[in-house]
Structure 1
Amino acid sequence: MNYDACIKKAIEYIEHNLDKKIKLKDLADMVFLSKYHFHRVFHAVVGEPVAEYIRKRRLIEAADELLNTDDKIVDIAFKYQFNSQEVFTKAFKKLYGIPPREFRRNRITSALSMAA
């Protein structure tokens, strides 16, 4: 079985559905593997667990929205399936080292200093 093709198909699905609930069972079913086996293969191919990959991809997309939209942080958090702004802020800070509000504020400060 070509696991690379299976994982590629799963990643494409994940990428198109970051703003929706994604279940491990649905991903595994899509590529005709058990949840257990899919998780092991995904981790081996990608280098991180499925849930961690999805969480990072959602945070990357959220960071892009923080920089390029004026949407409220809580709305971005809910869009990318975080249960609360607090949970989102904690995950964001863990990945980027600063909270989302400061991340957005630094973009404005950087843009102003570049214009000067």
Structure 2
Amino acid sequence: MNYEVCIKRSIEYIEQNLNNKIELKDIADRVFLSKYHFHRVFHNVVGEPVAEYIRKRRLMEAANELLNTEEKIVDIALKYQFSSQEVFTKAFKKLYGVPPREFRRNRSNVVSMSGKSRIPSQLSMVA
């Protein structure tokens, strides 16, 4: 079985559903693997667990919205399936080193830092 194709399809599904609840079983069913086997294969190919990948992608999209919109932080948090603004802030600060409000307030510093930015590059997708 070509696991790279399975992972590519699963990542496409994840990308299309970042705003929706994503269950491991739903992703595994789409690529015809058990959820346990899919989780192992995904981790081996991508280098991190499925849930961590999804969390990082949601935070990356949220960071983009913080920089490019004036949408309320709580609305962005809920849009990307965080249960509350507090949970979102904790996860955001863990990834970016600053809370979302400060990240937005200092957007010019984030953009001007370019190579030194705390914004991680897009996670590489399997070709």
Q: Which TM-score applies when normalising by structure 1? A: 0.93
1:74-97 deviations in Å (ceiling 9; x for gaps) = 000000000000000000000000
User: 1:38 and 1:110 mapped to 2: Cα distance?
Assistant: 36
Identity over aligned residues, as a percent?
80
Closer, same or farther: CA 45–107 of 1 in aligned 2, 3 Å: same
Deviation per CA, 1:32-56, whole angstroms, max 9, x where unpaired?
0000000000000000000000000
In structure 1, how many angstroms separate the alpha carbons of the residues matched to 2:59 and 2:42?
Answer: 20
Q: Is structure 2 residue 72 aligned with structure 1 residue 88?
A: no
Amino acid across the alignment from 1:67: L
d(CA) in 2 for partners of 1:38 and 1:54? 15
Q: Which amino acid aligns with 1:46?
A: V
Provide structure 1 residue ranges, at least 5 long, that are not aligned to the other structure. Answer: 112-116
After TM superposition, which residue ranges in structure 1, 4 or more long, deviate above 4 angstroms?
108-111
Question: Could you tell me how far apart the structure 2 residues matched to 1:80 and 1:4 are?
Answer: 26
- The corresponding residue for 1:61 is 61
What's the RMSD between the two structures over aligned residues? 1.2
The whole-number CA distance in structure 2 between the counterparts of 1:33 and 1:67 is 38
In 2, the alpha carbon distance for the partners of 1:72 and 1:44 equals 37
Task: Work out the CA distance in 2 between the residues paired with 1:32 and 1:75.
Answer: 34
**Corresponding residue SS for 2:106:** helix
Aligned to 1:114: none
Please, which runs of 5 or more residues in structure 2 have no aligned partner? 112-127
Q: Of Structure 1 and Structure 2, which has the larger fraction of its residues in helix?
A: 1
Residue identity matched to 2:66: L
CA distance in 2, matches of 1:107, 1:18: 23
Change (3 A) 1:2 1:109: closer
Higher RCO (CA < 8 A, seq sep 6+): 2
1:25 match: 25
